[in-house]
């Protein structure tokens, strides 16, 4: 299993979270599964998300997809997120 860790700043966390939640079917269509979202304790407009994927290739395809880019713009992501791909050991 592969996990993708994403950390980013957004204009408004609640607005971002709504778009994120609505994107569950899109993530699933790329092989995404369970996820966890954390809101930074010192900056409520910074989040970290961990999303599990069936394969590294599918996680990378999603990360580069035009659908994700559009969703990020709609959700108010500020700047470029930091993304890590990790394999469970």
Q: DSSP label at 58?
A: H
Phi and psi at residue 60, to the nearest 5°: -70, -40
pTM over 0.85: yes
Q: Tens digit of pLDDT for each residue in 15-52? A: 999 999 999 999 999 999 999 999 999 999 999 999 99
Rounded distance, CA 5 to CA 52, Å? 9
Alpha helices in 1-89 (DSSP H): 13-22, 24-29, 56-63, 66-75
**Sign of the CA dihedral with 70 first, then 28, 23, and 42 last:** negative
Domain boundaries, the chain: 19-48+66-89
């Amino acid at each position: 299993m592969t996990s993708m860790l994403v950390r980013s700043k957004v204009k408004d966390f609640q607005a971002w979270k709504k778009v994120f939640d609505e994107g569950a079917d899109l993530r699933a269509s790329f092989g995404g599964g369970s996820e966890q979202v954390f809101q930074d304790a010192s900056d409520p407009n910074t989040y970290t998300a961990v999303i599990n994927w069936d394969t590294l290739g599918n996680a990378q395809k999603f990360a580069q997809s035009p659908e994700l880019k559009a969703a990020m713009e709609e959700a108010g992501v500020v700047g470029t997120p930091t993304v890590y791909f990790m394999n469970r050991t």
